[in-house]
Amino acid sequence: MNTQTYLAYDYPMLSVFWSMLLFFLWIMWFVLLFRIVVDIFRDDSMNGWAKAGWLVFTILLPFLGVFVYVIARGKNMGRREIAQARAQQEAFDARVRQAAGDQGPRSSVEELATLSEIRARGDITDEEFNRAKELVLTDHGPATGSGTASSSVYGR
């Protein structure tokens, strides 16, 4: 071999594998660190001093702080994250309902008025109207049965 060195000879395939593994473990640790910092601020059961203590512990002794936090409080991390996701989904659903103008479930009178308007426009037949009216009056809710009545009643 000449005086020129080739990287492939100096850095074999197994070393590439271990380097990539360590790199991805390092990235995963950073992701875990950021999730823990977010969880510290998200937790309403801790007071300010406890939050400050955990934050200082995870910043000054990062590896030990992260592992101790996961062991001590990791079980509830998932629960807090799920609770926040549910709260966000409920807030989003409420906003969509408000924007759509939906004020809750419709009464039978409103359902019958809608059915009458649809029949008057000619979108449903008298037979479909009678089937849907029967469902509304027997408190089975809006027409959801099979056939064309359910699809025609709501314009689908």
pLDDT, one tens digit for every residue, the chain (156 residues): 555 666 556 667 778 888 899 999 999 989 999 999 989 988 888 899 999 999 999 889 888 988 999 898 888 888 888 988 999 999 998 888 888 776 555 677 888 888 888 889 888 888 988 988 888 888 755 544 444 444 444 444
| Residues 6+ away with beta carbon under 8 Å from 7 | none
pLDDT for position 22: 93
pLDDT for position 115: 86
Q: Spell 49-76 as b/e; 16+ CB within 10 A means b.
A: eeeeebeebbeeeeeebbeebeeebeee
pLDDT for position 17: 84
For 104, phi then psi, to 5°, come to 115, -165
pLDDT for position 6: 60
The model's pTM is 0.50
pLDDT for position 133: 87
pLDDT for position 150: 45
pLDDT for position 92: 92
Residue 142 burial (CB count, 10 A): 17
pLDDT for position 4: 63
Give residue for tokens 């056939």: 147
pLDDT for position 146: 43
**Residue 111 exposed, middle or buried by CB count within 10 Å (0-12, 13-18, 19+):** buried
Nearest-5° Cα angle at 78, 74 to 84: 135
Return d(Cα 18, Cα 8) in angstroms, integer.
Answer: 15
CA distances 79 to 14, 104, 111, 142, Å, are 40, 30, 41, 37
